[in-house]
Amino acid sequence: MRRRFKQTSTLEQRLLEQAERLRQRAQATPPGVEREGLLRRARQAETASRVNDWLRPRNCRRQPSAEQQFNMVGYRAFIIGEDGHICDARVIEAASDEAAVKAARRLINRHGVEIWQLGRKVAILDADDAAPSAAPTLPPA
């Protein structure tokens, strides 16, 4: 007899949860090969989640609710290289500055990240700010 499991969450959600667990384990692991392996597996899980969503037929893709759609704001996360220059940029859709900072923390991997919303600098995160307990560095008003 074959055992069957009824999943209570989507594949994308399970992959993102796995990525978060792997990142937390990596933070508790000393720098080295094991930590890099955990971070690589977390990135792979996030990529798999996105690819699975892309492969889903258009009419079956997750659509944000009307409330989420109107509350989402576009942010840009600029990944700062070791030389102090921008080496990558990502778009983050978030409902608030705090949510954008939380999402940007996942992008930190030995590099700093600057989060911008239009012409307003929201936060600067150093490589040390990857921990969920770290507070964002907000510019003076």
| 111, 80 contact by CB (below 8 A) | yes
pLDDT digits (tens, 9 = 90+) for 7-42: 788 888 888 889 889 989 998 999 889 989 998 998
Residue 65 has what pLDDT?
55
| HEC sequence for 81-105 | CCCCCEEEEEEEEECCHHHHHHHHH
Percent over 90 (pLDDT), the chain: 14
pTM over 0.85: no
pLDDT digits (tens, 9 = 90+) for 104-113: 888 887 788 9
Sign of the dihedral defined by the CA atoms of residues 58, 71, 132, 129, in that order: positive
pLDDT digits (tens, 9 = 90+) for 83-103: 888 888 888 888 888 988 998
Q: What is the H or E stretch that residue 113 is in? A: strand 112-117
Q: Using 50, 70 and 90 to split pLDDT, how confident is the model at 123?
A: very high
The CA distance from 111 to 94, in Å, is 21
Residue 134 has what pLDDT?
43
What count of Cα atoms within 13 Å lies in the side-chain half-sphere of residue 64? 11
